Structure 1
Amino acid sequence: MFHNMHSAQFYGGQYTNVGRDLKTINHYHTTLQETPSDPAVLKREAIKKLFEHIAPGAFHNSGERYDSPRCHPDTRKAILSKIMDWARGPHNLRLLMWIYGPAGSGKSAIMQTIAELCEEAGILGGSFFFFRTAGRRNIKNHLVATLTYQLTMRIPILCDYITPVIHNDPSIFSQTLDAQMKALIIDPMIAVLTAHPDLGNWRYIVLVDGLDECAPEDSHCEILTILSKTAFSPFQFIIASRPEYVIRNTFSLQFMVKQTEILALDNDYQPDNDIELFLRDRFNELRSSHPQGPYLPTYWPTRDSIYSLLRYSSGQFIYAATVIKFLDSPRHNPMKALDSILDARLSLKRSETPFAQLDSLYHYVLGAVRDTAKVLDILQCIMLVDDSGSTDDIEALLGYSPGECRTILCDMHSLLDIPDSSRSGKLRFYHTSLADFLRDPLRARHLYIPPQKSNAFIATCYAQNFSALIVTTNVYWILNTFTDHLSNSCWTDDLGYALGNFNILDYVTFNRFDCLEYHEHTYSALEKYYKWLYSQKLHSTSLQAARLYNTVVDHLDTWLSRALLHSKFSGNILFLIICAVKFGGRNYSLPAWLVSDVHSNVSDLYKETTDKDNASLKAAFFRAVEDVILDPHRSSFNAIEQMNIKSILLKLFCRNDAPDKDCVFGKYFAWLLEIMTSLLSKHDAAQDIAGLCLERLHHDTVPVHDDWMCTCALPYLIGSPYIKPCKLQEHSRCSYGTFSNCPDCKFTSLSAIKKDLLQFSIAVVDCVKRSGIKYETHNYGSCRDKPGSGLDHLCVFCRGREEFLKDESFEHRFKF
């Protein structure tokens, strides 16, 4: 009964199937099977895909922000009242609000409180709290998807209009913010309002906090522009940020001025009164929460102490909040700690800077820790290493024992959120002003560490603890993160010593080379690694740098020799060639063998491919060869002392053993001529390359199909790089790209080809002359196999003469 039926629905009744399996269905509404076309299934799948691209930590109520700052009770009343009046205003003409103020002025606390008030009032549409050191919350990529997800939770009917967008175009999340906003929010919301006009009376407030913490800086204007386009009923947007240059300029544009309400966190709102209330309440809490609270005198803190803290705060809540957190530590006597903070003296010059007192506080806290050097090491990790902020990750990177990180940071709870052993999470700064302080040499002074030295320290830690790190983390990520930091490092003795005891090729395993993704990630890491080492060899004053480079090249030669014997490499010779020619290996017989003897694999270089990964690997190979050929400093490829790798590469470029129909040599011909001409004209007349040129001057000394100086194969191999548009391009007679019926296109392109061939041939002959080798000359054209057979078999010597440009037989014989 109902055999092979799908997606059947029954409404009422009883049905009995008589057979081997007796089943009775007696439901009012029973769905036998859900299918992918079921709207409910489609909706769940769409939400699932949407969720993959959001930043959950950016929500106002996310677990990642469990201890987020909010306005202290009975403070910020005037500001909160003004914002909420604007949010509830039924006839607002300005649907954007910009709240701005300096670091530490309480912007995030206000935004958190507003989010909670809007949620309580049922008008919160969504929120995104940017944070500089939090993954997914410090870039623009996840903004639109995160807001879309929250809106679908607030307005369920919106999901009906977003579902087909996601299913029809899964790439929507990789498109521009403007395209995402239009497809996921603007167009669906317009459709909802059209179908349900009554929803136009609703109100949804969307908050974006910390815009200045989104990287890169030029994304700020893009974000503000798309938010302004989306500011239509029922949406209103509140943006909070520091008044950075790009943000200020964007809000000053005419179209933004007309729709923006601006609120500055300045003295008009009397922040000192709120800060004083905050301080007095928190000092009262200290009496009951601190172990020494019962022993604190009733007069403490004195009125003068409170006023001093107010004066030092300069309207910044961050100063007062940091002082309280520091005093709250059970390791400190609150009275003595407060006296020490207030007694800290600033020089006259430093007291005039905007963050003088906050800087003084940071100096005091960091100066009070037991091991400042180790604390700074951990702070560098938090600031520089993406997605590695947990205590376990940092302990593995720094080589610490379990729990050591918390011990070192025991006096840093006033500045860092440090999860205890019972709570998972990442180490993070309570406020980004601490990172700003550490990055500014004028503010941090002796605590400042230049970025290149910081990266060198991180790279040193990776080299020293690589084996431990890859136990729990993807080796691709570790390799590339390590080499990213290395690329931005300066030379230090510690880094040199660590690299001397580290061999990156120990972690490039042979049994993974059947995976093209592994090739791509590994090649990227190795390229950065050898490029930095090569640069240090050339420019560093340390003798250790030159010795280190020689060591890693020896490692490379050993690794390449072992790799050749590994069976997994049978189909991946290309990766080996790249490593051999790009990274400076001295085993010259290896690339010679690869180029000269491995015909089946090398021929694949010239074949078209639809495989995206393989195509990118081939492109990387040709770039690597170009770098080696043109690099004048690559002393490991010395043409006089050793076999000339450049000659080998030229042979590789000019192979002609692939079928004509599959050969893509023509794509590289114009570029190849330019490279070889440059190489020959600048070369030091080495005997081997001059001899190679001489060998090719008369094509009859070698088989035609192996003669890379001969033009016999040109009609089939080149053409597309030289195709030029002509005046007749729009004319129906001109078939641009094939030259049929268009003599103008053909003449222009062939002239360009002949000029390049002339320059190349002149360079070849000049190289031979400079070498001192004697050779025989002959009259132009006498080298052809037969009179009138065309330019196909014209030698290099003839192509290096002016008569070549006027030789009309080329036009008759050449085909594209």
Structure 2
Amino acid sequence: MPSNFTNVVHRTQRLRRDVLEILLEQSIKGVELDSSSRHPPPRCHPGTCTALRQTIITRLYISQRDWTVMWLYGTTDVGKSAVAQTVAEECREKDVLGAALFFSKHIRSNDAHRIIPTVAYQLANRYSDYRALVEREIGEDPRLFGGDIRTQFKKLIAVPLSSLKARGSLTFREPKLVILDGLDECEPHTEAQELIEMICQHARLVENSPLLWVICSRPTSQITSAFSKFQPTAICRAQELVFDPKEDLLPFLDRGFREIRLQHWEVFGSDSNQKWPTPSELRIIAHNCSGQFVFGSALLKYVADAHNPNPIHRLASFLEVMRNCDLSQCRTNPLFFLDLLYKHILDNLPNDYLPTIRRILGVCIYHPYAALSPRALANFLHLDQPTFETSISKLFSVLAPPDSLYSSKERLHFYHTSFGNFLRDPSRSAHHHISERTVYEDLAIHSLQWSNWSVKRACARSRDELVDEICCIVEDPLAALTWKLEDEVHSYECMEAVEHFASQVCWEACFRVAEGDGTPVYQELLRIKHCPRDHLVRFLKRYCATDRPQGNADRLTVKQTLNALWLASFTLIVFYALLRVRIYQEP
């Protein structure tokens, strides 16, 4: 008997693990509430959005609800994700959070077809009785995930929840909250639209649904169309996210400036009650926030920057900019004053550091979740410590200063994604715009340089006589690092992180710039002694096929180089393959 009981326990644990593994495999990675790829997540400032947050949470505890699906909509950077994050964390503490998914344009796998499996995985991971029912559905139809999303919704959401409700499950005695933030970022948009319709239809058919849904997005045409079919009804509530300047923004700004006065006591003296800014200036700032916290928050960060110790002068300079600006643009651009602040910050950067600053910002914008510490990023870009530290210190009003530049766990990130969005959009940032092509060309060049170094270092580690004839001996394995530590172990760890990142982005970056003037990348390719033939030839073929206004001179040179590479490729590939085999076979 004990043996049979043990077998049953092991089998039960294995089945539980299997269904979770299956769901996890079909889920979208990096969209979880506490995902490291979103660290640090946006949150509501203390004392803000309390009424809206209370409206959502109290609906989980009353039997007669006036809505089952809330659509929280608003413009870009208005604060939807902050509300969603804060509500999700509060519900998790109360054990009423079913699932929370946070999508963004930076996550490459925003596949609308995987939303339902992702929700199901989070529900199954939290609630064992739901997990058992989902396990049965998957067992009866293993091809479920290849079907359409209506079938997925029925078998992974509707049927299990209906069964639990019929049983009187204590788990869902109180409904659970499901949050889908940034649904407008999911593709294809038609499936996201279809998902909204299914959620609303299910809410209409099921009285006192076990799930409450909060969907946050911009009011795009597809999403607006989907919700319009269910409004106005008791099923769905549309809620625009706006902030009242008097009730929300003025207290937030007043508290923020009070903290600045305390931090800069040497400027303001001992009078912590000093009226700065003046009440009229505070009202102007609150009014120009246009109902958005992001401008007020960014302005406070700019004024409080510890590397610029005169907050009075900084605020006065920007108030002067606001007084002299063209206010006619406010009508068409709700982020006008935020853009004005970002331009003001960038306009005041020292010209000597601008090229370096733009290169650092480029990586932060287009690879925000790159696994590079500040020191590793500096080494990847071949920047020494003084240059890198001085450059990022100019950005601490928009870039969160790391706790330690030496820690391998630290990452550079913006205080708010709006700054990256601003630099991406040339219509907003004008001459401060950082183009994707410029960044990827820089990434390609530095990745190729690091790839070349990696091959040389690998050759130097081999004792093969053939290597000694062909390759130079690398006397200092850390010579490529522009910023070293006295601790050799950490220096090697840093270099390995840089080499790994270079290997990840190298060929993607090369292919992105191959269409157009890829001359700088092409010139860097010619310096590589050993190169995977298929990658190099693919790049050069695209480069040769691109029309150029300069004539055929460049193209002829490239084609001649291509022919020479074809002749030499067999020797290089065989040599490189033998070298790798020899290296990895060494004890």
Determine helix, strand or coil for the equivalent of 1:473: helix
Measure the CA separation in 1 of the matches of 2:395 and 2:571: 51
Of 126, 136, 144, 2:99 maps to 126
Q: 1:293 to 1:239 in 2, by over 3 A?
A: farther
Task: Indicate the larger mover: 117-126 or 492-501.
Answer: 492-501
Query: Cα deviation per residue 1:216-275 (whole Å; 9 max; x = unaligned)?
Result: 655542443454355451011001112123222222235897732101124xx6244311
For residues 171 and 418 of structure 1, do their structure 2 counterparts lie closer, same or farther at Cα, with a shift above 3 Å needed? farther
Residue type of the alignment partner of 2:524 = A
Bigger drift between 89-98 and 400-409 goes to 400-409
SS of corresponding position for 2:216: strand
Counterparts of 1:571-720 in structure 2, within 5 Å, are none
Structure 2 partner of 1:184 = 156
List alignment gaps of at least 5 residues for structure 1: 1-7, 12-29, 509-521, 569-816
Pair 1:191–1:318, CA change in 2 (3 A):
same
**Structure 2 residue 313 is matched with structure 1 residue 336:** yes
Task: State the partner residue of 1:491.
Answer: 517
| Structure 1 CA distance for aligned equivalents of residues 510 and 291 of structure 2 | 43
**Matched residue, 1:253:** 229
Find 1:442's aligned residue among 427, 435, 444: 427
- What is the 5 A alignment of 1:54-133? 54=27, 57-65=30-38, 67-92=40-65, 94-133=67-106
User: Match for 2:325 among 346, 352, 357?
Assistant: 346
What CA RMSD, in Å, does the superposition of the two structures yield over aligned residues?
3.7
Name the residue aligned to 1:473.
500
State the distance in 1 between where 2:227 and 2:158 align.
21
- What secondary structure is seen at the aligned counterpart in 1 of 2:48? coil
Give, in whole Å, the separation in 1 of the partners of 2:340 and 2:312.
18
Q: Percent identity?
A: 24
AA paired with 1:126?
A
Aligned to 1:384: 366
The letter of the residue matching 2:349 is V
SS for the counterpart of 2:70 is strand
Asked if 1:9 corresponds to 2:35, the answer is no
- Partners of 1:146 and 1:58 lie apart in 2 by 9
Would the aligned equivalents of 2:440 and 2:510 in 1 still touch at CA under 8 Å? no
SS of 1:446's equivalent?
Answer: helix
Residue 60 of structure 1 contacts residue 129 of structure 1 at CA under 8 Å; is this kept in 2?
yes
Distance 1:193 1:80, change over 3 A: closer
Q: What residue number does 1:427 align with?
A: 412
Is residue 482 of structure 2 the alignment partner of residue 482 of structure 1?
Answer: no
Q: Distance in 2 between matches of 1:291 and 1:544?
A: 62
Code of the residue aligned with 2:432 in structure 1: it is: L
Listed one character per residue, the Cα deviations across residues 417-440 of structure 1 (whole Å, up to 9, x for unaligned) are 454334725433333332332232
Counterpart of 2:262, as a letter, is: S
Query: Is the 2:33–2:85 contact (alpha carbons within 8 Å) kept by the matching residues of 1?
Result: yes
1:379 counterpart letter in structure 2: L
2:276 counterpart SS class: coil
1:314 Cα shift?
Answer: 1.3
Q: Shift of residue 301 of structure 1? A: 2.0
Q: What letter is aligned with 1:557?
A: L
- CA 1:61–1:496 in 2, change beyond 3 Å: closer, same or farther? closer
The alpha-carbon deviation at position 454 of structure 1 amounts to 4.0
Partner residue in 2 for 1:356: 336
Aligned residue type for 1:129: F
C-alpha contact (below 8 Å) 1:251/1:257 kept by paired residues: no
| Contact 1:205–1:238 (Cα < 8 Å) also in 2 | yes
Unaligned segments of structure 2, at least 5 residues: 456-495, 579-587
Q: How does 1:6-405 map to 2 (within 5 A)?
A: 9=2, 31=6, 38-54=11-27, 57-65=30-38, 67-92=40-65, 94-134=67-107, 138-140=110-112, 143-165=115-137, 176-196=148-168, 201-215=173-187, 217-218=189-190, 220-228=192-200, 231=203, 232=206, 233-253=209-229, 259-266=235-242, 270-290=244-264, 292=266, 295=269, 298-332=274-308, 333-344=310-321, 345-347=324-326, 350-354=329-333, 355-370=335-350, 371-385=353-367, 388=370, 390-391=372-373, 394-401=377-384, 405=388
Task: Give deviations 1:310-363, integer Å, cap 9, x for gaps.
Answer: 132111110001111222321122212211221224245645541221111111
Match of 1:415 among 379, 388, 398: 398
Supply the distance in 1 between the matched residues of 2:41 and 2:210 (Cα, whole angstroms).
Answer: 28
CA contact (8 A) 2:179 2:215 kept: yes
Kindly indicate whether the alpha-carbon contact (under 8 Å) linking 2:111 and 2:188 is maintained by their aligned counterparts in 1: yes
Distance 2:267 2:200 in 1: 51
Which piece of structure 1 moves more, 461-470 or 311-320?
Answer: 461-470
Give 1:162 deviation, angstroms.
Answer: 2.5
- 8 A contact 1:125–1:154 mirrored in 2: yes
Q: Partners in 2 of 1:193 and 1:559 — Cα distance?
A: 66
- Following superposition, the deviation at residue 179 of structure 1 comes to 4.3
Cα distance in 2 for partners of 1:170, 1:401 equals 55
> Is this contact kept in 1: 2:381–2:446, CA < 8 A?
yes
Distance 1:555 1:537 in 2: 22
* Structure 2 counterpart of 1:556, from 540, 558, 566: 566
Whether the aligned pair in 2 keeps the contact of 1:389 and 1:427 (CA below 8 Å) is no
For 1:304, what is the secondary structure of its paired residue? helix
CA distance in 2, matches of 1:417, 1:178: 43
SS of alignment partner, residue 409 of structure 1: helix
Q: 1:543 aligns with which of 543, 548, 553?
A: 553
Residues 73 and 326 (structure 1), Cα distance of their counterparts in 2 relative to 1, 3 Å cut: same
Work out the number of aligned pairs and report it: 521
Closer/same/farther in 2, CA of residues 372 and 199 from structure 1, 3 Å limit = same
Shift of 1:484: 3.5
Question: 2: CA distance between counterparts of 1:261 and 1:209?
Answer: 16
Give the C-alpha shift of residue 54 in structure 1: 4.3
Mapped to 2, the partners of 1:493 and 1:384 lie a distance apart of: 22
Q: Secondary structure at the match of 1:445?
A: helix
2:577 and 2:329 mapped to 1: Cα distance? 67
Q: 1:458 to 1:353 in 2, by over 3 A?
A: farther
Distance 1:387 1:317, change over 3 A: closer
Q: 1:402 to 1:46 in 2, by over 3 A?
A: farther
TM-score (norm 1): 0.57
Higher relative contact order (CA 8 A, sep 6+): 2
- 1:257-300 CA distances to partner (integer Å, 9 max, x unpaired)? 7732101124xx62443111101112222233457476376222
**1:51–1:149 contact (8 Å) kept in structure 2:** yes
Any idea what SS the aligned residue of 1:40 has? helix
How many Å separate the matches in 2 of 1:121 and 1:176? 34
Following the alignment from structure 1 to structure 2, what is the Cα–Cα distance between the partners of residues 474 and 372? 24
**8 Å CA contact 1:537, 1:546 repeated in 2:** no
Paired residue secondary structure (2:226)? helix
Counterpart residue identity of residue 315, structure 2:
L
Please list the CA deviations of residues 574-600 of structure 1 after superposition, one character each: whole Å capped at 9, or x if unmatched.
xxxxxxxxxxxxxxxxxxxxxxxxxxx
Amino acid corresponding to residue 336 of structure 2 in structure 1: A
Q: Which residue in the other structure is 1:586 paired with?
A: none
Q: Using a 3 Å threshold, how does the CA distance of structure 1 residues 550 and 206 change in structure 2: closer, same or farther? A: same
Larger displacement relative to structure 2 (118-127 or 399-408): 399-408
